[in-house]
Structure 1
């Protein structure tokens, strides 16, 4: 599956994705800014993976708005900049994989 655009995902900003708990869009050649991609993730998401794509830009602090997030992976992309400060609201996070960024990420 070459899911190269997130337009279909974005049009469901409110319902029915509010109940989505697991999302894996890895290995799809998605070329998008990380903030644009992540701003539409439902608040109840528990596991999210978008590894092995072409996602660029900084990882946004809006991950703090996902209190149930336990696993997050965006390895092998083109993220850059420094990691955001994660608030106490993201205590459920058990696994964070941001390895193999072509542009380099710090923090």
Structure 2
């Protein structure tokens, strides 16, 4: 098993590599778009958020969040992606929000070093 550390430079390099970043985002979008209509519905994105269980774990330990609070977090995340508020997320919205989130992670990682 190997362990790799990500720092802000690695994340920024990936984001600035248009071909790699766009390919990665397009692949993930296609995977999430289960009905293949070119748009992500709330339910398509919700399945992914629930599968990742990022909110239900804390440093790898399961926690039991309040269901209403969890629903609010999922709703808020979807709204961030759905920039034109039309109830679905297209590829450009998905790409823009993914880039924004990765840049935020870069800032967080840089501030920890």
TM-score by shorter chain over 0.5: no
TM-score w.r.t. the length of structure 2 is: 0.27
Q: Which has the higher helix share?
A: 2
Instruction: Name which one, 1 or 2, has greater alpha-carbon Rg.
Output: 2
Larger RCO of the pair (alpha carbons < 8 Å, separation 6+): 2
TM-score w.r.t. the length of structure 1 is: 0.28
